[in-house]
């Protein structure tokens, strides 16, 4: 709760939020040595990879292997952890609170709208993991730039250069190839995965429109702090209505296996650290570096998931995923040159 745009990461995991705006300039401090700076950046990247891949694999394990078949409740747990941990982090931060608080009811309404879209995309992504292997889920998720470009044109009339649109052709073609070669294809899971990808793209576009003014800018962690409670308020009644036996099953699983609650807690906390590490990596690297790291992260997630879950893969499927990743790289290059 892999989202989230100005999305620098072409393989967003279900819980991740995009970085929206720059954080306030820090006060002057002694510059760290180049070696310590590189080590710190490497540690951030490793943490980013570990949290992203960890939450993705744990989601898959809980939803399709362990038998916890409640994606709404799982997403509610993720959002609850994000709400609590981001609030604690804000209180522990030396930054003045006034610098990160919404400035009007109108801005709060906009954040609530973004929270609803984000919530829907995360739920759809978790539902898809019940039916699709992680490798195919990542291949479909890599098409986020395609849907972002389409929605930016449809919603905001924002045009890209012809070369940028042309670079999106292999993005879609690769998923078409991967779909034809996917031995574990599930139509409903595929529809939900596409819906999650479209939701992340829509959130990106709306975020650019709704929080574009200088007075309303927030960094991604502040945005998460206000969006997560909105998501919880939407998810709890939805869980009670659509997954009525979820809480009873959780109580039963906790009695049978006390480690289940720790597994769920770890999974929920990882959902927050996905956002935190994404924010820190974005802050300490360049957009191009983040693009390359994002491409590599998706590939690593695919390989690790295949090794762990042993889901069958075909040469055609992996070829399709490779074509999609190549298209995403071309798209990033075309966008960079068009600016």
The reported pLDDT for the residue numbered 97 is 53
How do residues 69-90 score in pLDDT, each as one tens digit?
Answer: 999 999 999 999 999 999 999 8
Average pLDDT score over the chain: 85
Cα dihedral 203, 205, 209, 211 in deg (nearest 10):
40
Tell me how far apart the alpha carbons of residues 82 and 76 are, in angstroms, rounded to a whole number.
10
The reported pLDDT for the residue numbered 298 is 86
Domain positions in the chain are 54-338
Length of the chain: 339
The reported pLDDT for the residue numbered 87 is 93
The reported pLDDT for the residue numbered 103 is 63
The reported pLDDT for the residue numbered 332 is 84
Please, where are the H alpha helices in 93-161? Answer: 105-131, 134-141, 144-156
Distance of CA 283 to the CA centre of its chain: 17
Could you count the other beta carbons within 10 Å of the beta carbon of residue 39? 12
How do residues 28-40 score in pLDDT, each as one tens digit?
Answer: 445 567 778 889 9
* Start-to-end C-alpha separation, the chain: 31
Indicate the burial class of 141 (C-beta count within 10 angstroms; 0-12, 13-18, 19 or more): buried
Quote the tokens at residue 111.
Answer: 């954040």
The reported pLDDT for the residue numbered 209 is 82
Low-confidence ranges of the chain (pLDDT < 50): 1-15, 17-29, 98
Nearest to 327 by CA among 273, 275, 291: 291
CB 293 within 8 A of CB 47: no
Please, where are the H alpha helices in 132-245? Answer: 134-141, 144-156, 162-180, 187-210, 220-242
């Amino acid at each position: 709760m892999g989202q989230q745009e100005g999305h620098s990461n072409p393989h967003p995991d279900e819980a991740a939020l995009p970085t929206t705006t720059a954080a306030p300039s820090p006060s002057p401090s002694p510059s760290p040595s180049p070696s310590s700076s590189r080590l710190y950046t490497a540690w951030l990247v490793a943490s980013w990879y570990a949290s992203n891949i960890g939450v993705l694999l744990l989601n898959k394990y809980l939803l399709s292997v362990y038998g916890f078949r409640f994606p709404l409740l799982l997403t509610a747990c993720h959002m609850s952890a994000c709400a609590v941990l981001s609030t604690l982090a804000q209180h522990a931060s030396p930054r003045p609170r006034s610098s990160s608080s919404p400035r009007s009811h109108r801005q709060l309404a906009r954040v609530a709208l973004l929270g609803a879209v984000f919530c829907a995309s995360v739920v759809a992504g978790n539902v898809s993991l019940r039916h699709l292997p992680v490798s195919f889920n990542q291949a479909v998720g890599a098409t986020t730039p395609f849907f972002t470009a389409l929605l930016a044109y449809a919603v905001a009339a924002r045009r890209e250069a012809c070369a940028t649109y042309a670079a999106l052709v292999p993005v879609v073609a690769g998923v078409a190839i991967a779909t034809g070669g996917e031995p574990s294809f599930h139509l409903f899971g595929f529809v939900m995965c596409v819906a999650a990808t479209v939701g992340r793209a829509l959130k990106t576009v709306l975020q650019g429109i709704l929080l574009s003014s200088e007075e309303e800018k927030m960094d991604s962690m502040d945005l998460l702090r206000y969006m997560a409670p909105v998501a919880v308020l939407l998810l709890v009644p939805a869980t009670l209505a659509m997954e009525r036996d979820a809480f009873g099953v959780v109580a039963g699983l906790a009695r049978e296996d006390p480690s289940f609650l720790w597994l769920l807690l770890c999974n929920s906390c990882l959902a927050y650290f996905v956002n935190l590490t994404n924010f820190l990596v974005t802050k300490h690297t360049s957009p191009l570096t983040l693009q390359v790291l994002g491409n590599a992260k998706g590939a690593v997630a695919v390989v690790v998931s295949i090794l762990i879950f042993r889901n069958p893969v075909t040469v055609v499927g992996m070829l399709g995923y490779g074509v999609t990743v190549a298209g995403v790289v071309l798209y990033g290059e075309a966008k960079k040159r068009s600016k």
